[in-house]
Structure 1
Amino acid sequence: MTWEKDAEELLDELVKPIPIFARPMARMGIERKIKEVATDTITVDAVVRGYLLASSGSMRERAIKLLEAKKIDMSPYEELLAELK
């Protein structure tokens, strides 16, 4: 699978708030979810979907706030978020 540059940069930004000692494991889990939803190319959309799927209950609200702070329009993900509740 190939990564779009914007997608890889977004993932780098999303894992920055995770404590350094936990970051590699968290990144692996997030990447696993991203690859489950991606097709041939990993896009920003796949990163957002994978990130939301990898975020557990209480962390999901924090994930949404971080995505919104990155100027990601969350409206395309409303159905996914409803399923995750």
Structure 2
Amino acid sequence: MTATCLLPLFETSYVAGEGPDRFYAWPDALILPQKVRGFYVGFLTYTYHKGGFYLLEGWFSWFIVIWTVILLGLMSIGGYFMFRKFLKRLPKEDGMSILDWEEHYINETRHLWDEEQKQLLDELVSPVPELFRDVAKSKIAGKIGELALEEKASKITEDLIIKGYIVATPKRDHKFLIKKLNEKQIDYSRYQSLLAK
């Protein structure tokens, strides 16, 4: 039976046998890793066969190493966003989480939106990658709803949408808003104080 696995490498080595099928005894053997520009390769691939571990060489070994790095990277990215969402779901002192309040403001102001304003919001969030667009749109709509309730607005206006976008998004994303406003020839000079924060 043959199984492939990743094992850490150490700085001492022991070789039992010679040639391309040289055998590294396990667990007594510690293999000296290859140096690359002064750095040690932390992992190489081995295959287990007939009671011993053999070092895999060539492209397949590097394929497994690269695939492991990619897999760990993707898992880390996914875990980061899942953890952020988990934190937003944690209830605050008032018993409501950030996402609960976001949904509350959207539901309370849903009837204040007309098709023109919905279309404007869709255009403003269009630069956001499709995977994250719904999340961004929900966050901005929640902030717009909050501002509308604070101002006791009778309808969602262009002014509220632009304010909500600026307040709900980080400063690095404001350049996308400015670009869209310029395309639509909307004067944003009165929002300079908000954009500067």
**TM class by smaller structure:** 0.7 to 0.9
Bigger Rg, which one: 2
- Deviation, 1:62, is 2.4
- TM-score normalised to structure 2 length: 0.39
CA distance in 1, matches of 2:193, 2:166: 12
Contact 2:124 2:180 in 1 (8 A): yes
Instruction: Determine whether 1:76 maps to 2:76.
Output: no
- Deviation, 1:72, is 1.3
- TM-score normalised to structure 1 length: 0.82
CA distance in 2, matches of 1:25, 1:37: 19
Contact 2:127 2:176 in 1 (8 A): no
- Deviation, 1:4, is 3.3
Matched with 1:23 is 133
Contact 2:171 2:195 in 1 (8 A): no
- What SS does the corresponding residue of 2:131 show, helix, strand or coil? coil
Question: How large is the RMSD of aligned CA atoms in angstroms?
Answer: 1.6
CA distance in 1, matches of 2:182, 2:166: 12
- What SS does the corresponding residue of 1:72 show, helix, strand or coil? coil
Instruction: Determine whether 1:46 maps to 2:160.
Output: yes
CA distance in 2, matches of 1:68, 1:54: 20
Contact 1:55 1:63 in 2 (8 A): no
Letter in 2 for 1:79: S
Structure ranking higher on relative contact order (CA contacts 8 Å, 6+ apart): 1
Contact 1:4 1:43 in 2 (8 A): no
Of 94, 110, 113 in structure 2, the residue corresponding to residue 3 of structure 1 is: 113
Letter in 1 for 2:154: D
Letter in 1 for 2:136: A
CA distance in 2, matches of 1:66, 1:15: 10
**Number of residue pairs aligned between Structure 1 and Structure 2:** 83
- Structure 1: any 5+ residue segments left out of the alignment? none
Contact 1:14 1:66 in 2 (8 A): yes
- Deviation, 1:73, is 0.5
- What SS does the corresponding residue of 1:17 show, helix, strand or coil? coil
- Structure 2: any 5+ residue segments left out of the alignment? 1-108
- Deviation, 1:30, is 0.6
CA distance in 1, matches of 2:124, 2:193: 21
Of 146, 169, 188 in structure 2, the residue corresponding to residue 36 of structure 1 is: 146
Higher helix share: 1
Q: Structure 1 16/61 Cα, relative in aligned 2: closer, same or farther at 3 Å?
A: closer
